[in-house]
Every structure is written in C-alpha cells, then in structure tokens.
Structure 1
C-alpha cells in the first residue's frame, strides 16, 4: 500500500490536472483571423443561414451571430458553437481597450476563388474568417474599416432557458431543429424516443437539423443531446402525445 504522503501527492496531482483540463476546455488559446461585416438591411442575415436556425432573433442569437469560412465551419458541425472575437493589431480601426464579443456560429461564408484570398476572397480556404452583422462588427471596430484583423477563441455558450426542439417534417420523416444549446454549443449526436420505442439515433440532415424515418405521432417525445465535449443530456417527455409539426418544445439545459 502506498504511503499516506504519496497518496496525497497523487490526489493533488490528479485534481490539478482535472482543473487544468477544465480551464483548457473552457478557454482555448487566441488564434488569428480576419473579419468583415454585412449590412443589417440584408434580411438574410437574420432570417436564413447554412445552419438552419431561421429567424435569429427568435432563436435568441440576433446580432450576436456570425458566418464562418470553411476553415472554421467544418461542414456545419460548428453550427451553434460560440466564439469570442476581438479586434487586433490596428490602433486606427480597432475600438479603444479592444473589447471582445461572443458570437454564435449560424452561417457559412462561401469562398470566392475568383478573387485573391487577401483581396475579396476572404473566406477562401484555408483562411479563418468571420462574416459578422454590421451591429456586431461595430462593437469591436470602426465600420469604415470594412475588414480587420481579429483574434478569436472557442468559449462556452451561456444560454438562457432550456434547449429548444422544433419538430418539423412529416409522419415518416421527422426533422428536429435544435437551438439554444449551452456548453460548447456544438452537437455531435442526437437521439429521440417515443413512449413506445427505445432510443432512436438521429442523423444530421444539415446544420443543426437532425432527422429520423420513424413515425412517432401520438407519442410523447424525449430527446438526448451529446455535445462535442462528449457530455450527454436527456430531456424526457418534452413534447406531449398530441404534439404537432412546426411546434417548439423546451428541454433541459447543460449546466455551466
């Protein structure tokens, strides 16, 4: 048996390692990128997007949303993830004190290979780029800048209320849009369960829309969501037996 002082040292080391890993998961290192903005008069900024969130004001993201270049978008798996962004390395265009904002990934910024990556092709691979609403951009930089160098890092998403499940589709093609996800905000797996079924694995349709080909009409619905950090949360009976397509239901929320 190990001596008491040795056991204590091992315990202290493990606790320290756990604390360090927790900090690392919550606050990643700052990385370099660029950012531009789109005019708020463009309705597509708040009503469309490659993540399928729809009207961003209804999903609570609003102006604190962003499109990502392919380097960051990761084929849609980054939808719902949160990024802290701050203007960098330009005393002319950056606001004083270099404030930062936290943005939710809601859209894809497509490449334009007809233009150079440093002159119009901002979202060309492998550039890291944020296409922000004008209102968000103006919180970190002067709008006359049009494009600025920024620093960014992944952070935990702080959400109000529970996870939202919007049920869409038809009898044998159920599609669920999942929004307002806490922790890292990035969903990697979803399961659904009726009162007469076991857990059914759903597949990613696009963005944060998940699907299955099972008729669950007339059954209360439960959902299980797993984030990129491999934390799973189950919300039981969030939808009543008489649920209808087009309705949104509130589940539990990950603990911050």
Structure 2
C-alpha cells in the first residue's frame, strides 16, 4: 500500500497531478474532508486518482465510479481513539430534548431514535459530520467497559465551552452519546470512558427526507436527513423545473444548505454530493409546487 501512496505523490507532482481536485470540489469536498473520513488507504488512493482524471477520462470510467460508490457504501472506516460521555434525560424517554446543531430538531427521532450523539468540533467539522454514522466501543478490559457495540448518528455539536471544555475543547476526539446508548458500551456510573470509533454505513433508507425552510421570494433552506451510505453530505445543488443547470447551495450550518436570489420554478430537483462528483444522489422534482415553510418531504432518489 505504501508503494501506491508513493506513486500518488509522484502523480500529484506531475503536470496532470498539478490539477486541483476540482472533480471533488464541485460538490464541496476536498482532500482533507476525504481524509477526515478515515477511509482505508486503498479507497482514498482510488478516490484521489479518479479526481485527477479529465472529464473525458472520468466519463469513460463511469462503471468504475459506480462500483466505487457501492464500495464506499458498504465499507467501514478505520478505528480511531477518543473518549465518550452521555447526555439527554430519561425524563424525556431517553430522547434528545435539544434541537441540536445539525438542525434536525424533533424530526431526528424519526430516523435515529435514541441512537444519537453530539460530536466535538474536530469530528463535527462545522456540520459536515451531521447525519454521519459511527460504530463505538469502550476501550479497555474490565470495569467500566462492557462488551457491547453501539451505532450512533451525529445530530449535534458538543461545544467547546463550559461545562464541556474538559472533554470537547482542544482538538479532542469526543462523542457525547445519547443517555440510552452509553450503557450499551459502559457502566453509566463511570460518566466518561475511553472509546474507539469508526465511520460505518448508515441504514438503507428508501427515500431522502428534507426539512424545508423558505418562501416565494427565492430564499430556500434545506436540511437533509436519512442519507444512505456514509450519511454525510459534502455538497447540495438544486435545479429548477425546465432548467438544465444545477445551482450549488451554500452550506449554512449543520445539515442545512441554502440559497437566495430569484425564485426557482417548481418542482425543484435536489442533488446531494457524498464524495463530490464521485458519488451523488439525485431526487428529481422533490420540492413540490406550493411548498410551505417548515414542511417535510421525502423523495425517492437515484445514485450515481
């Protein structure tokens, strides 16, 4: 594998390699965002190689791209070390009573249930990790660790402010787990434990759900949830009815992307970028005519 990386470094210094990773960037991805997923090296190498291809070369390898997306969807990331605490209240049935920095609000219960987590800034990545799924295990032998493995979805930020400075500030890798999740991996009386965690594929959702904020004057904000594969979205685009042009939305906060300007003709199609142009999910005619502010819609999608 090291030989492959040496080859990639040589390519990156060649005339071809001096191209920017624009193939990834058109969806908002970057080399650093790919590395943050902690993908196995072979997947990262293939991804960078595809990003360096010309448009014609990329099109000629469409079947390989499709296969790569399937590989991403079913392949976990590398294990990382960190720490975990827990939050939430049994008085609320174990639910996360907070709206959360991802913008899911109470809608999160529909697709994550009790299996939520707040991530420290180094994991949260300004909201890029929203909707991402992690497998978590307690690290150590004996008390307070338990043998269970938990799977959680990032729905919130663990802010680096009091009382979280000790755990979530200073670049620490920390997950604040839901109150019903923590007991799966450790005795709750411990309060905080060492963990190891990795990205894993999320559930196989049959539809992608959007929470719409907007009006008839051109402001449109979309919060996306229930994304298959990694669960993470690195870019979002919309296309007005009758148009052939995709308009990139601006990342606003958490899982929310927005636009302003001239109103879009409805119905509006939405395209999500999971790994830039490498892996996309398109929901055609998803945002309906006459949509309402704070409306939730679920749309079928196609990959590729």
Task: Give the TM-score, by structure 2 length.
Answer: 0.69
Aligned residues: 234
Does the 8 A contact of 1:162 with 1:180 survive in 2?
A: yes
The structure richer in helix per residue is 2
Aligned to 2:273: 226
Q: Distance in 2 between matches of 1:46 and 1:108?
A: 14
Aligned to 1:131: 176
Pick which of 45-54 and 62-71 moved more.
Answer: 45-54
Q: Does 1:60 align with 2:60?
A: no
Q: Does 1:102 align with 2:151?
A: yes
- State the secondary structure of the residue aligned to 2:203: coil
Q: Distance in 2 between matches of 1:232 and 1:109?
A: 29
Cα RMSD between the aligned structures? 2.9
- State the secondary structure of the residue aligned to 2:181: helix
Q: Distance in 2 between matches of 1:108 and 1:57?
A: 14
Structure 2 gap segments, 5+ residues each:
1-45, 47-63
- State the secondary structure of the residue aligned to 1:139: helix
Aligned to 2:257: 210
Q: Distance in 1 between matches of 2:125 and 2:281?
A: 23
Q: Does 1:252 align with 2:300?
A: yes
| Pairing partner for 1:169 from 207, 214, 223 | 214
Q: Distance in 1 between matches of 2:272 and 2:73?
A: 22
- State the secondary structure of the residue aligned to 1:89: coil
Pick which of 207-216 and 150-159 moved more.
Answer: 207-216
Any residues of structure 2 matched to 1:58-207 within 5 Å, and which? 58-95=109-146, 98-112=147-161, 121-170=166-215, 171-197=217-243, 198-207=245-254
- State the secondary structure of the residue aligned to 2:251: strand
The structure with the larger Rg is 1
Aligned to 2:34: none
Q: Distance in 2 between matches of 1:240 and 1:220?
A: 5
CA gap of 1:58–1:113, structure 2 versus 1, over 3 A, is: closer
Q: Distance in 2 between matches of 1:215 and 1:187?
A: 25
How much does 1:189 deviate?
Answer: 1.1
Q: Does 1:34 align with 2:83?
A: yes
CA gap of 1:53–1:190, structure 2 versus 1, over 3 A, is: same
Structure 1 gap segments, 5+ residues each:
1-16
Aligned to 2:290: 242
Task: Give the TM-score, by structure 1 length.
Answer: 0.81
